[in-house]
Chains A and B, each alone.
Chain A
Amino acid sequence: MEVSRRTFIKTTLIGGAGVTVFGFSLAPVYAQTQGLKIARTTETRSTCPYCSVSCGVIIHTLGDKAKNAIPQVVHVEGDPDHPINRGTLCPKGASLQQDIVNERRLLKPQVRRPGATDWEDISWDACVDEIARWTKKTRDATFIDKDKNGYTVNRLETIGWIGGCTDTNELNFLAVKTMRSMGVCYFETQARV
């Protein structure tokens, strides 16, 4: 009878003998296994969000994938396989874990009204509505359709756009389409990824 490698290993390990395929007793090893505290982490490749160099990072997240467990970032390191930084990080990038897990990190949008001294929490829906309203108001008030010589320019010089280095090609494509259609001239995507 042909016995596969997998079957052979299973038989010798789980069978009554409790030995490895080569006959070593596993009783003492098994005893130590019972006392092990095992934690599962995942490693996710990503991009450092700080500057336009766009260094590759690996984010270590602790969590056993149980539904009631909240994954927690426990370590961030440079990605040794990334062609830009090859595992190195600057001091800001090296401290990314403290940026992600930080009680002072903003988790929702805030606005400071004209004349106010404090920031006010608002919902994402209210935030998007407000940005749209202010964008339209500013554009309607300051849009330049012709320059002083009468040439058509369709420029909007009072709004600018600054992208982040983690923005993808797809996001930047949409940003360019949207901003150019509004006439925005001052535009930087940091498109590196």
Chain B
Amino acid sequence: MSEWWDKQIQRADQLIPSANGSKDLLKFYAHLLRAQKDIYEFLRSRKDWLPSGDLESDLPVLLDALPGFLKVIQSYGPESLAAEAHDLLDADLQVITQKVMSYWLNPSDIQFFEKALIQPYLRWVAESGARPVRQEVSAGERYCPFCGGSPQVSFLQNKETTAESGNRDLICGTCLSSWEFRRVVCANCGEERPAKLGYFHSPEFDHVRIEACDTCKHYIKGVDLTRVGFAAPIVDEIDSAPLDLWAREHGYTKIELNLVGL
């Protein structure tokens, strides 16, 4: 639903004025979210067409939305992304198809354009009732049950009306859908020993924390919606970018990078 995209965009717009070190990242992300929403709306409003979940057959439709998306990145992205967007605008359709299909079969969080393009597509696939069709999908508790992607951010949210504590969900970096996950467990390696799991907080970002594992040295950011109910995890995660740098300085690697590369 487009309301989901609107919520993310509104949250980004809300955070930009008060953002400190991450202001430029948030400004870009707000533009990116609008461009992704446009792709989603383009797919959703197409008459007599529903996605099959098989990207190879859906790609011609998806690529119709690509030029508008690339122009946004060219206008608002950093130099390197803008240059790549410019090249892609002039690139042969076959080359682009090859790049996107390569990501589809083997997703990587350092492929910006492919990931940003696939996210709205997969959201529409999920909402239309189809399932992604791929040769190999990672299975297991820590992978997205819908598309097999890795978790990008976790969030806590009350699910029992009388509970004060939040259930933990993970958001997939590939399709942006969420799934339930246990609280005191590493989202990367499954470590459960409390002494090996560190939660790092800072008063500057009261509702966001680093959930780190000393066994695999990976981390994921957690957004506590029981403290700030109107937060949008994928946006608040970018607002709290200084926590990512702190985690990296202390030897932790993020499980899945977001679309600003942190």
Residues of A within 8 A of B (CB): 5-6, 8-9, 12-13, 19-26, 28-33, 35-45, 58, 60, 65, 77-81, 86-89, 94
Contact B165 A58, beta carbon cutoff 8 Å = yes
Residue B162 interfacial (CB < 8 Å): yes
Known A-B contacts A32-B21, A39-B201; the reply to A21 vs B110 at CB < 8 A is yes
Distance A20 CA – B158 CA, assembled complex (angstroms) = 34
| 20 A/B residue pairs, CB under 8 Å, sorted by A | A5-B110, A21-B261, A24-B24, A24-B25, A24-B260, A24-B261, A28-B24, A29-B244, A40-B199, A41-B199, A43-B197, A44-B184, A58-B183, A78-B165, A79-B183, A81-B167, A81-B183, A87-B166, A88-B162, A88-B163
Which chain B residue shows the least CB distance to A59? B194
Which chain A residue shows the least CB distance to B21? A32
Chain B residues with Cβ below 8 Å from A24 are 24-25, 28, 78, 260-261
Known A-B contacts A44-B194, A80-B168; the reply to A36 vs B242 at CB < 8 A is yes
Chain A residues with Cβ below 8 Å from B245 are 13, 26, 29-30, 33
Contact B253 A81, beta carbon cutoff 8 Å = no
Within 8 A of A (CB), among B122-165: 158-160, 162-165
Contact B197 A42, beta carbon cutoff 8 Å = yes
Residues of B within 8 A of A (CB): 20-25, 28, 77-81, 108-110, 112, 158-160, 162-168, 182-184, 194-195, 197-204, 241-246, 248-249, 253, 257, 259-262
Chain A residues with Cβ below 8 Å from B25 are 24, 29
Contact A9 B202, beta carbon cutoff 8 Å = no
Cβ distance B254 to chain A, nearest Cβ, rounded Å? 8
Contact B80 A29, beta carbon cutoff 8 Å = no
Contact B165 A20, beta carbon cutoff 8 Å = no
Contact A94 B246, beta carbon cutoff 8 Å = no
Of B80, B159, B195, which one neighbours A23 at CB under 8 angstroms? B80
Distance A190 CA – B14 CA, assembled complex (angstroms) = 52
Inter-chain residue pair count (beta carbon < 8 A): 146
Chain B residues with Cβ below 8 Å from A77 are 164-165
Which chain A residue shows the least CB distance to B212? A40
Chain A residues with Cβ below 8 Å from B204 are 32, 35-37
Contact B21 A38, beta carbon cutoff 8 Å = no
Question: For the complex, would chain A's binding face be called helix, strand, loop or mixed by DSSP majority?
Answer: mixed
Known A-B contacts A5-B110, A58-B184; the reply to A78 vs B20 at CB < 8 A is no
Interface pairs A-B: 7 shortest CB-CB: A20-B261, A32-B21, A87-B163, A23-B80, A23-B78, A21-B261, A22-B261
Contact B198 A40, beta carbon cutoff 8 Å = yes
Contact A39 B200, beta carbon cutoff 8 Å = yes
Distance A26 CA – B260 CA, assembled complex (angstroms) = 11
Chain A residues with Cβ below 8 Å from B112 are 22
Chain A residues with Cβ below 8 Å from B108 are 5
Q: A21-B257, A24-B28, A28-B22 are in contact. List 4 more A-B contacts (CB 8 A).
A: A23-B77, A38-B202, A80-B165, A89-B164
Distance A19 CA – B261 CA, assembled complex (angstroms) = 9
Which chain A residue shows the least CB distance to B203? A37
Contact A36 B202, beta carbon cutoff 8 Å = yes
Chain B residues with Cβ below 8 Å from A39 are 200-202
Of B109, B201, B203, B246, which one neighbours A5 at CB under 8 angstroms? B109
Chain B residues with Cβ below 8 Å from A65 are 195
Contact B183 A43, beta carbon cutoff 8 Å = yes
Chain A residues with Cβ below 8 Å from B183 are 43, 45, 58, 79-81
Q: Chain B CB within 10 Å — which of A33, A37, A44 has the most?
A: A33
Distance A45 CA – B193 CA, assembled complex (angstroms) = 10
Cβ distance B30 to chain A, nearest Cβ, rounded Å? 14
Chain A residues with Cβ below 8 Å from B21 are 28-33
Q: Chain B CB within 10 Å — which of A8, A25, A29, A37 has the most?
A: A29
Chain A residues with Cβ below 8 Å from B78 are 19, 22-25
Known A-B contacts A5-B110, A33-B21, A81-B182; the reply to A42 vs B198 at CB < 8 A is yes
Cβ distance A186 to chain B, nearest Cβ, rounded Å? 36
Chain B residues with Cβ below 8 Å from A33 are 21, 242-243, 245-246, 249
Distance A13 CA – B251 CA, assembled complex (angstroms) = 13
